[in-house]
A and B are shown apart, each in its own frame.
Chain A
């Protein structure tokens, strides 16, 4: 039972916006959505997180639907260095623990 669902791969032209969707239909009411990315075998890098309102920081914007069942990460002007696997993460309660669950992620390729 996948906690998050993301496209396996996407591609984007350099300089254009990259819109990465995530479905998290079973998210509980008080849990945040977190986005990270991982370049090759480096440690995942935190991008942004949100609860119900849209969020923006220097890296990206996060749009969360009103029902909180899905969200979209937006990289407004993708560069070649944005090529990475992007993970949408929610915490899942299991046996009294809150498990950060990475899921399969989206492999984003930014091309010239």
Chain B
């Protein structure tokens, strides 16, 4: 069965650079969620989209923005990167069952 695809899987950036993470949800899923998981931490909800509109907003820094496109894929844009942004970033997609999420493999971002 098709799963959530995230790209890139690994990304290394310098401080103050920008990064764009991409997420391709499971086909026919209309909801996308983004999470950040720091080293030794639990996943923290950043933001979600339903039918290309922002639906819920969590602890997403102002330096980050995200959107969902017409083909339902989503991108998380991160600017002015800081060392503390080094983390695993997970995308999850959801369909008809509210709140049920299927996670991708994550993007490991390292900021040097």
Contact = CB atoms under 8 A, between A and B. Distances in A.
B56 A87 contact: no
B105 A42 contact: yes
B45 interface: yes
A105 B105 CA distance: 19
Contacts of A36: 101, 103
Interface of B: 4, 33, 42-45, 55-58, 88, 90, 92, 97-106, 108
B33 to A, nearest CB: 7
Nearest to B3: A43
B99 A34 contact: yes
Interface string A36-64: 10100111111001000000000000000
How many of chain A's residues touch chain B, expressed as a range? 20 to 34
Interface of A: 32, 34, 36, 38, 41-46, 49, 87, 91, 94-95, 97-105
Given A45-B103, A91-B99, 4 more contacts: A34-B99, A36-B103, A46-B103, A97-B58
A46 B102 contact: yes
Contacts of B4: 43
6 contacts: A34-B101, A41-B88, A46-B100, A87-B42, A103-B42, A104-B42
